[in-house]
Amino acid sequence: MEKKGISRAVINRLPRYYRYLGLLMDQGIDRISSSELSRRMNVTASQIRQDLNLFGGFGQQGYGYNVPHLHDEIGKILGLDKSYSMIVIGAGKLAQAISGYFGFEKRGFRIEAMFDRDPDKYGGVSLRGIQIHPLDQLEEYLKEHTIDIAVLAIPADSARMITPVLVEGGVRGIWNFAHTDLDVPENVTVQSVHLSESLMQLSYKINH
């Protein structure tokens, strides 16, 4: 289904297509032309055709796109047809916010445990009942459990210290909220959410 060499820009746009197609499905809309999708998404129709044609023949002349089919195919490309076991490192407010969001679980991202230096924070369980383990049991835990994704919701120094433990423990992806870059081998993916940098981009744009 997928061609090689899809640019990062296209990949970054796929979740937004996925979101809009999901909204259309919620509204009971089964097919849509590229021009109508263009109007709703505020992207040119030619961009939409170019992006979606990369994944091969979803659109048909005079018919438009089959919404559920396209939603499904983009979901598969994004890996949303699989499920992922996750742990959250940290149990502070950001960690609680992330682990409390039902939407992730609905998409197959299951949070199985949290880890914190202070495992008794909030009485030892997250608001959704996920157990908070002592951080020094992380290495042992990873020997006994297969974890796909670790979320880092801890300060930068701790994040750098914990990363080798995660890599050694077989984690395939790190969702990094710490304000630092991380050194990982090629077989591990880091996706960072740098909130401070996002806020700086906002202040730049306000001033220009």
What does the binding site for its own copies look like in residue numbers (CB under 8 A)? 11-12, 14-16, 18-19, 42, 77-80, 82, 84, 92-94, 96-98, 100-101, 103-104, 107, 109, 127, 148-149, 172-173, 175, 179, 181, 189, 191, 193-207
Q: 61 or 207: whose CB is closer to its own copies?
A: 207
Report which DSSP code applies to 9: H
Tokens of 181: 């870059």
User: Cβ 131 to its own copies, closest distance in Å?
Assistant: 18
Give me the least distance between CB of 159 and its own copies, in Å please: 14
Q: Coil, strand or helix: which one is 120? A: coil
CB of 165 to its own copies, least distance (A): 19
Report the interhelical angle of 45-53 vs 34-41 (nearest 10°): 110
Exposed/middle/buried for residue 82 (C-beta within 10 Å: 0-12, 13-18, 19+) = exposed
For residue 84, the minimal CB distance to its own copies (Å) is 6
Nearer to its own copies, 136 or 161 (CB): 161
Rounded to whole angstroms, how far apart are CA atoms 186 and 23? 36
